[in-house]
Structure 1
C-alpha cells in the first residue's frame, strides 16, 4: 500500500512539474535615463531628463498546447523614468497588448494593440528605430512620417506572421475601425515581406489607413477625437512637418530597405513614400488650423546609416536622412535633412552607456503653409530652420 501511494505521488509530482514546464510567464523590461539638450524649442534651450531607449516593462506568456501549437500573450507598458508617468497617452499597456496562437508550421495569429508588420519588416534598417534614440524619437525620418519608428501602434488589430521558409517570411495585419455600419472607417490594412540570408537582410511593406487623424493618431481605433498628448504614441499630429494634413481621408505608406553585414560593419538603406490622400474629406482641423480643399501631400524619405563594432563592447554609428514633401493644394514643397551620430558602450550584456547627437535643417514651405522649420519627432519645433540636440545616458535591460 505504501509503495503504491508513493508511486502515485511521484507520478502526480512528475505530471505537475511537466505541466508547469509547458507554461511560462516572463517579466522583462528596460530602464533608461539620459541627460537631454535641445538648442531650440520654439526659440528656447531645453535641458531635461529623458530616455534614448523607451523605458518599459512587460509580461510575456506562453502555454504549450501540444502538436507544435502554443497560446501566447504580451502585455507591455511604457513609462518615464524621470517621473514614473505612463507613456503612450497614459495607456496601461500602450506599447503592446495582444493574445494569440503560434504554430511552428502555420505561423502566428494575434489580436490586440500591436506593432505593424511594416515595422517588423523594415525598422531594423532605420537608425532612429535601432540605435539613434528610438524612445526619444529624435532620430527618425522627418517627424517619423512613415511610422517606421512606431510612434503610433496599431490598435484593434488582427495580425498574422508566417513561418520563415528559406529566409523568406510575410505578415498581414488588419485593424477594425469599430464604427457601426461603416466597416472601412478608421481601418488599417498592412502587409509586409522579409528576407534574411547570411549577411543580407531585406524588407518591404505597404500600409493603407482610412481616416488617419483618428485611426492612427487617436489612442483607440474608434476614437472620435485624438489625444492631445505632445509626446509618446498617438500624439495628435503635433509636428509642423505634416500636422496640417489632419483632414486627410486616407494615408498610404510604402517602405523598402535592406542591410549588409561586412565584418564589423553593418550598412543599411531605407526608402519610404508616405501620402496623405484626399485632403479636406475628413471633418478635422490639424493642430495648426490648416485647411485643404483636396489633393495629396507626398513625402519621399531616404536614409543611409552605418554601424561599426570597434571593439566587442564599443559601437560607433552614423546616419544621413533626407525627406522631401511635395506639398499639396497649391502649397509649396519642403525639404528636411538630418544627421545622427552615436556611440554605445556595453558595460555588460544588460547595461550600456550611450551618447547620441542629432542635427536637422529645413527649407521650403511646410504643411501649415508657413516657412518650414526644423522639427525633431517627439520634440516641439524649432523657431528657425535648424535644430541641434544630444543625449547622454544609461540603459539597463532585465
Structure 2
C-alpha cells in the first residue's frame, strides 16, 4: 500500500537536516496500525492479543536538487510496536530502512545502507502477504516467508542500483559487503531483479544468493557472528521450524517470478519461488534446532494465486491460496504446507481504513528439524498440531 506523506518545512528541522537549500525538502511519513489478534494454537495454547496487520512505522525522507537532473536522497525508517511502543527489527533504531544515495532520472538511482532487496522491489507486489494479508503480522506469507518476499529480513551494508524505466522495463542490482577482515566475500549477498509494467500487466523476476545465511540474513547486521535476537525460533535463531533446521547452510539461493493483471475491478496475481539452503553442515549454527546435516541441499518450491476485487470504491475483498513443498535433505523426509488467506478492507478515508483478515494453514510430512511437520505461521510460534487458524481485526492510519 502506498503511504500518504506529510511534508514538513525543511527550515523547521534544520538542526536535523543541516544547511537548508531552496531546492531541498524533508518528508515525515508513517503508519499507525492496531488490531485484535486471535490464534487458535501457539505451542498448544490459544492467543488473544494486540497486534498489527500493517507494520507500524515512521520515517524521514529527504531530497536535495543538485542540478542537471541529479538529486541527493536519504531515507530513515523506524519500525515500532503500537501496543508497547517498543522498537521492531530486533531493537534497531532505523531497522526498516537507513540509506543515502544519488538519483538521476536519466541514469537511475544508487543507494547505500540497510534497505529492501532488489528482489523484493520486483516481486513483493504479487504476494498477498506483502500486500493486503497482514504484511506487518507476517501470517499471510508463504511458509515461514522462506523466500523473503515479505521482507522478514532486510539487507544490511548494501549498495543498490535501480535503473530508470525504459519502455516499462527496469533492472535492479544489489551487493552487500560482508565486512569481515581478510574475508572479503564472507556473508556477502548478490541480488538482481527485472521488472516490466505495461498498462494492466505487471511482471517481475529475481535472483538472490547469500553466503552464510544464518549470520548474513538472520543476523542483526551483515557481519554478525550471532543470529538476530528478535527471531522467534528456538534459542532465538532461524525463525521457523519450517526451515530452522537448515541453519548450518553454507549458502542460500532464492529465485522468484510472478505477475499480475488488472481486469476491471479485479486484480489477479501469481507468484512462484524456489528457495535452496545449500551445502548444509558448512556453518557452525550455535543454538540451532539441533538437526545435524552432512552436506546436501534443501529445496522449497512455493506457488501462490491471489485475487483482489474492488466491490465498491471503499470496500475491497481479497483471497489467496499458497502451496509450499520442502523436498528435504540428507535423507530427512519432505514436508508440504497449504495455506488460505481471506480478507476485507474498508476505507473510511484516503488515510484511514478498517480490516478483517483470516488465515488457515495445514502441514504434512517431516520438517527441517526431522520431526513431524506442524503448522507455523510466519511471525508466530508454531502450532502443536498440523493446522493453525488465526484472524485479526483492526484499523490502519497513514500519515
Q: Please tell me the TM-score bracket, short chain as reference.
A: over 0.9
State which structure, 1 or 2, has the greater radius of gyration over its C-alpha atoms: 1
Name the counterpart of 1:3: none
Counterpart for residue 274 of structure 1: 275
Indicate the residue corresponding to 2:16 in structure 1: none
**5 Å matches for 1:204-223?**
204-223=205-224
Instruction: Supply the distance in 1 between the matched residues of 2:232 and 2:240 (Cα, whole angstroms).
Output: 11
Counterpart secondary structure, 1:223: coil
Quote how far apart the aligned CAs of 1:228 are: 2.7
Corresponding residue for residue 107 of structure 1? 108
Residue aligning to 1:358: 359
Q: Tell me by how many angstroms 1:285 deviates.
A: 4.3
Q: Structure 1 stretch 284-293 or stretch 368-377: which is displaced more?
A: 284-293
Q: Provide closer, same or farther for how the CA distance between residues 323 and 241 of structure 1 changes in structure 2, counting only shifts above 3 A.
A: same
| Cα separation, 2, equivalents of 1:54 and 1:202 | 25
Deviations 1:336-382 (A, max 9, x none): 00000000000000000000000000000000000000000000000
The answer for unaligned runs of 5 or more in structure 1 is 1-18
String of CA shifts for 1:259-287, please: whole Å, max 9, x gaps: 00000000000000000000001111463
Is 2:135 the counterpart of 1:172? no
Aligned residues: 378
Please name the residue that 1:160 is paired with. 161
Tell me which residue corresponds to 1:186: 187
Match of 2:304 in 1: 303
1:126 aligns with 127
- Matched ranges for 1:343-354 at <5 A: 343-354=344-355
Structure 2 gaps, min length 5: 1-19
User: Equivalents in 1 of 2:230, 2:398: separation in Å?
Assistant: 27
* SS of 1:369 mapped into structure 2: coil
Please list, as runs of the form range in 1=range in 2, the aligned pairs for 1:222-301 lying within 5 A after superposition: 222-230=223-231, 236-285=237-286, 287-301=288-302
Could you tell me whether the CA contact under 8 Å between 1:33 and 1:52 is conserved in 2? yes
Give how far 1:238 is off: 2.2
Aligned to 1:203: 204
- Counterpart CA distance in 2 for 1:140 and 1:184 is 30
Matches of 1:205 and 1:230, distance apart in 2: 25
Maintained 8 Å contact 2:103/2:109: yes
Q: CA 1:244–1:331 in structure 2 vs 1: closer, same or farther (change >3 Å)? A: same
Q: CA deviation at 1:20?
A: 4.3
Cα root mean square deviation, aligned: 1.1
CA gap of 1:286–1:247, structure 2 versus 1, over 3 A, is farther
Deviation digits for residues 241-265 of structure 1 (CA, Å, limit 9, x no counterpart)? 0000000000000000000000000
Which residue is 1:143 aligned to?
144
Q: CA deviation at 1:78?
A: 0.1
Kept after mapping to 2: 8 A contact 1:285/1:291: no
CA distance in 2, matches of 1:385, 1:241: 12
SS in 2 for 1:120: helix
Q: Secondary structure at the residue paired with 2:129?
A: helix
Shift of 1:63: 0.1
Counterpart in 1 of 2:90? Answer: 89
* C-alpha spacing 1:231/1:395, structure 2 compared with 1 (3 Å): farther
Q: 1:289 offset after TM fit, Å?
A: 1.3
Residue of structure 2 equivalent to 1:59? 60
Contact 1:186 1:214 in 2 (8 A): yes
CA contact (8 A) 1:246 1:286 kept: no
The answer to whether the 8 Å contact 2:232/2:240 transfers is no
C-alpha distance in 2 between matches for 1:231 and 1:160:
32
| Contact 1:121–1:192 (CA under 8 A) maintained in structure 2 | yes
